[in-house]
Amino acid sequence: MNHQTGGRFNKLPWGLMLLLVSLTLTCCSNPLAATPPPTLEIPLESKVGQLSASRTSLAGGETTDVRVAVVKVLGAADPFAYQWSTTGGLILAGQGTCCISYQAPETPGAFEVHLTVQYEAEFVQRSLTLQVSAPPTATPTPAPTDTPTPAGSTPEPTVTPLPTDLPLPDAVAYFNRAQEYYFKRDYERTLADYTKAIELNYDPLSEAYYNRGYVQYVQQNYTPAIEDFSKAIELNYDPIALPYYNRANAHFYKGNNDQAIADYSKAIELEYDPLSLPYNSRGLAYRKKGEYDNAIADYTKAIELKHEPLVWPYYNRGNAYADKGDYERAISDYGEAIRLDAANANAYYQRGLAYKLKGDFAAARADFQKVLELNNDSLRTDAETQLQELPAP
C-alpha cells in the first residue's frame, strides 16, 4: 500500500539505565523536556536492541508493526540510518525509520524481516521470524462507491480498557505509565491508562486523545481511532496536521475515500512535514476512487518533493498509468522504481504485465523470470502463471 503513518509519543525511561544517566531506550518518540546528558561512548551493538513485533503469528495478508529499540540522547535527532528488507511480504510504511508496518504474504510459511542499522561507518544487523498461516476464507464485499461508508456503519472490534494494575496519584502518572505499557506492546493496558488520564483531565488533553487514537490505529481499530483523532483536532493538538494525516489514514483503511481525501488535503494545507507523505497517500485514495489523473498529479508532486523512499510514488504512479492503459508511461515509472530498488519484485511483476499488454512478450518474460529469481514468495505463483500464458518464444 505504501502508506506511512505519523506517530508521536513522549519518551520514557526504559531498560538501559545501568549507567544512571539520562539515556532512554525508545522507538519513534519525542522526549519530555530534559537537559541532554553528556555523550557516552557505547558500542553500536549495545545501542541497538532486538526486533520486536506487535504480532509474530499472522494470517496471509494481515499486517503487524515491527520495531527496533535504540539508545540515543534525550532531545537529540535520531542519529541512525535504518534499512529494512523481508524474505516475503511487503513493507507498507516506515522504511528509513525504527518502526515499520509489515504485510504478510498470502503464502503460508516462515518469513524473515531484516534490519541494517548504520551509525557513521558502523553497521549492525537484526532479524525477526514471522509465522504466516493461510488467509481465512473471505466473503465477497460490495465494490466501493464514491459515497463513503458512514463512520461506525461497519462493525469493528471494540476494546474494553482493562482496570489498571495499581491506582496512581494523578493524570500525569497514568499518562506516563501508558507510555511504558506502549513500548512493552501491552496495548490493552496502554489504552486503559490513557483513558484514565483523559478522565483525570491530563494537560494537554489533546495529547492523551491523540496517543490513545494512535494505539487504536496501530491495532486496526479504525473507528475509535478516528473518534480520538477528531477529539485531538477539536482540542487543537500541536502540530495539528498530525491528527488530520492519521485520521485520513484510518478513513482510507475503512474505505472512506472521500473523507480520507478531505483529511489528506487538510494536512497538505497545514503543511504536514514531510509534505510528500500526504500527497502520496492522497494519490492512493484517488486511485481507489478511479480518479487516475488526480492520483497521477499527487504522485508527481510527491516525486517533486523527494518522497522518502522515492521508489513509492514512482511505483504508485506506474500503477495509475497502467490503470489508464498508458503502458509506455507505466513501464517508464516501473523502470525508475527498479532503478531505485533493484530488488523490487512488485515493480518487475507490474512492468511485466504492462509489457504483456503491449505485446512485448520477450520483455514481459524477462521481468517475470526476474520475479522468480528474487524469490518473492507472494508473487511466485502469479509470475509462474504469467510465464505459462505467454506465447512460446
Spell out the domain ranges in the chain: 10-133, 164-237
Strands (E) across the chain are located at 10-11, 23-26, 30-31, 48-53, 57-59, 63-73, 81-86, 90-93, 99-103, 109-119, 122-133
Q: How confident is the model at residue 385 (pLDDT cuts 50, 70, 90)?
A: very high
Average pLDDT over residues 101-115: 81
Q: What is the model's pLDDT at position 333?
A: 97
pLDDT at 75 over 50: no
- pLDDT higher than 60, residue 202: yes
Q: Is the pLDDT of residue 157 over 50?
A: no
d(CA 153, CA 182): 29
Give residue 66's pLDDT band: very low, low, confident or very high (50, 70, 90): confident
Query: What are the C-alpha distances in Å from 183 to residues 68, 173, 322?
Result: 10, 16, 41
Rounded CA-CA distance 328/258 in Å is: 30
pLDDT for res 162:
54
Compute the C-alpha angle 226/232/235, nearest 5°. Answer: 145
Residue % of the chain over a pLDDT of 70? 78
The span from the CA of 95 to the CA of 146, in Å, is: 31
Which cell goes with 106? 498470502
Nearest Cα to 352, choosing from 375, 312, 379?
379
Q: What single letter denotes the amino acid at residue 169?
A: P
Rounded to the nearest 10 degrees, the angle between the axes of helix 241-254 and helix 257-269 is: 160
CA distance 114 to 214: 25
Average pLDDT estimate for 245-265: 95
* Helix or strand holding residue 153 (H, E): none
Confidence bin at 1 (pLDDT 50/70/90): low
pLDDT, residue 290, reads 96
pLDDT range class, residue 134, cuts 50, 70, 90:
low
Answer CATH for 164-237 from 2.60.40.1260, 3.30.43.10, 1.25.40.10, 3.40.50.1370: 1.25.40.10
What's the pLDDT at 233?
98
Which whole number is the average pLDDT over 10-22? 30
Identify the band that residue 201 occupies on the pLDDT scale cut at 50, 70 and 90. very high
Rounded CA separation 383/286 (Å): 28
The residue-averaged pLDDT of 41-68 equals 76
Predicted confidence (pLDDT) at residue 74 exceeds the cutoff of 50: no
The Cα 393–Cα 388 span in angstroms is 11
pLDDT at res. 9? 53
Does the domain formed by 10-133 have CATH 2.10.109.10? no
% of residues, the chain, pLDDT over 90: 52
Higher pLDDT among residues 193 and 81, named by residue = 193
- Tell me how long the chain is: 393
Of 108 and 5, more confident: 108
Q: CA 42 to CA 46: how far, in whole Å?
A: 7
- Phi, psi for 279 (deg, rounded to 5): -65, -50
Question: Residue 386 has what pLDDT?
Answer: 96
Are 164 and 135 contacting, i.e. CB atoms less than 8 angstroms apart? no
- Give the model's confidence band at 199: pLDDT under 50 very low, under 70 low, under 90 confident, else very high: very high
Going by C-beta distance under 8 Å and a sequence separation of 6 or more, which residues neighbour residue 318?
Answer: 329, 330, 331, 332, 333, 334, 337, 347, 350, 351, 354
* 118: β partners: 81, 123
Tell me whether the CATH fold assigned to 10-133 matches the one assigned to 164-237: no
393 pLDDT tier (thresholds 50, 70, 90):
confident
**How sure is the predictor about 42, in pLDDT bands with cuts at 50, 70 and 90?**
low
Is residue 376 predicted with pLDDT exceeding 70? yes
Residue 131, pLDDT score: 84
Query: Residue 222 — pLDDT band, cuts 50, 70, 90?
Result: very high
Nearest 5°: the CA angle 271, 274, 278 is 70
The pLDDT value recorded for residue 228 is 97
| 230 vs 139: which has the higher pLDDT | 230
Is the predicted pLDDT of residue 206 greater than 50, yes or no?
Answer: yes
List the single range of 34-38, 60-64, 185-189, 377-381 with lowest mean pLDDT: 34-38
How does the average pLDDT of the chain come out, rounded?
80
pLDDT tens by residue, 256-291: 999 999 999 999 999 999 999 999 999 999 999 999
